[in-house]
Amino acid sequence: MAGPIAHLDLDAFFASVELLRRPELRGKPVIVANRGPRGVVTTASYEARLFGVGSGMPASQALRRCPQAIVIPPDSAAYRETSRTVMAIIRDHIERVEQLGIDEAFLDLEGLHSPKSAMRKLVSDIYGKTSMRASIGIGPNRLVAKVASDAEKPNGFVVMTAEQARERFADAPVSLVPGIGPRTSERLGEMGIKTLAELRAVDVDLLIERFGARQGPALVDLASFNASSEIVTEREAVSESRETTFDQDIRSGDELELALGRLAAELADALQRNQRSGRTIRIKVRLDDWTTVTRAKTIDSAVDDYETIIKVATALLRDYAPQRPVRLIGVGVTGFASPTDESQLMLPFELPAA
DNA sequence: TCTGGGGTCCTATTGCCA
DNA sequence: TCTGTGGCAATAGGACCC
């Protein structure tokens, strides 16, 4: 019998780190966004959210809604640093932690005498040591915990059973639950399904027909707040990549290769720093009409060096030869060699032939 | 007014091989 | 030798997340 799960989410994380460094901005609408004509909002302070500014929104649009907003370009090194500090505090309190992304984590609360007071203590310790606010959700599984942490942020603290989640969010749009994004919401909408209660009530066979044997039933599980409560404490990266969006679309092949070279150099550098190497090199090209094309090649041995990466990536790009202006180009390496793979290569026995 | 960058996972298709 | 089948790896695309 599994114990409760907590989901911890740092409130408006990037903006909060910036406000910490620049206390004079406290109480003002602050948005963290890339500069340039194509920048988007990565985080908005809660003051900015009052103007309808949200993450993912083009910065130009955000500034139209909130002209007095202060725009700060993201400083990912600083956010990683604060994240490390907070995650270390979490691990001081809780043994089994699954970090997701930079600002959130699932916590295994199994066996704690009082999960709630343990979480109250944790949140106040994080605030005391870093001035970062966090929202907490506690539930029987990851899904309930996650939705609960989202329900009353900032500074939220919500404890729910699956049944309480079903009741409270019965009339919420299906996109409330993580895993149902814009595309799936739209397709469900076309079937007349808007709310979680409606999704729960629909005939599974109909969903299987439209979404397949796996995703169909999975949608009902999501709507019912049935989910795994497993905490995966160790996750290994499976890919690393670099990409860039041009301020203006690029037509020249030479310019594309120049950009590809810069990205490949950065990527090789990062791979070597992280002691990672992979066998599959992939490029990504986004055209002016937003179609995205990927091309990949798998080679015999795992690599992390600039020369090999740029050689393969350039060949892939020349082979594809985009026929429209390009707005984004990227390069990545996947298929990382793990220690297990290494030892398997050296297995002294062949499997018997069939 | 258009839509970043860094990832993960899933699915479908295809070709190879036993 | 021909044909079918199942498994697997590689490839491409796409949805989704923070």
The helix or strand, by DSSP H or E, that contains position A64, with its residue range, turns out to be helix A59-65
Q: Is the peptide bond before A115 cis (omega within 30 degrees of 0)?
A: no
Q: Is the pLDDT of residue A3 over 90?
A: no
For the ranges A71-75, A104-108, A350-354, which has the lowest average pLDDT?
A: A350-354
Q: What is the pLDDT of residues A164-208, one digit of tens each?
A: 999 999 999 999 999 999 999 999 999 999 999 999 999 999 999
Separation in Å: C18 C1' and A97 CA: 18
- For the stretch A298-306, contacts whose Cβ atoms lie closer than 8 Å and that sit 24 or more positions apart, written own/partner, are A298/A335, A302/A277, A302/A278, A302/A335, A302/A336, A302/A337, A303/A277, A303/A278, A303/A279, A303/A333, A304/A268, A304/A271, A304/A272, A304/A276, A304/A277, A304/A278, A304/A333, A305/A268, A305/A272, A306/A264, A306/A265, A306/A268, A306/A269
Q: What is the pLDDT of residues A261-314, one digit of tens each?
A: 999 999 999 999 999 999 999 999 999 999 999 999 999 999 999 999 999 999
pTM: 0.91
Q: Is the pLDDT of residue A351 over 80?
A: no
pLDDT of residue A338: 62
| CATH code of the domain made up of A165-223 | 1.10.150.20
Show Cβ contacts of residue A56 under 8 Å, excluding neighbours closer than 6 positions.
Answer: A40, A41
Window A200-229, strand B contacts by Cβ < 7 Å: 212, 214-215
Separation in Å: B12 C1' and A99 CA: 31
Q: What is the pLDDT of residues A30-69, one digit of tens each?
A: 999 998 999 999 999 999 999 999 999 999 999 999 999 9
pLDDT of residue A248: 95
Any strand B atom closer than 7 Å to A130 CB: no
Q: Give residue A2's pLDDT band: very low, low, confident or very high (50, 70, 90).
A: confident
Mean pLDDT of chain A: 92
Any strand C atom closer than 7 Å to A179 CB: yes
Nucleotide nearest to A316 (CA to C1'): C11
Location of each CATH 3.40.1170.60 domain in chain A? 13-76
- Do A222 and A147 meet the contact criterion of CB atoms below 8 Å apart? no
Location of each CATH 1.10.150.20 domain in chain A? 165-223
Separation in Å: C5 C1' and A230 CA: 37
Tokens of A339: 């220690």
Q: Give residue A225's pLDDT band: very low, low, confident or very high (50, 70, 90).
A: very high
Q: Is the pLDDT of residue A162 over 90?
A: yes
Distance CA A88, CA A336 (A): 27
Location of each CATH 3.30.1490.100 domain in chain A? 239-345
Mean pLDDT along residues A78-90: 96
**Active-site annotation of A, residues:** 104
Any strand C atom closer than 7 Å to A18 CB: no
Fold classification of A13-76 (topology level): MutS, DNA mismatch repair protein, domain I (3.40.1170)
Any strand C atom closer than 7 Å to A294 CB: yes
Fold classification of A239-345 (topology level): Dna Ligase; domain 1 (3.30.1490)
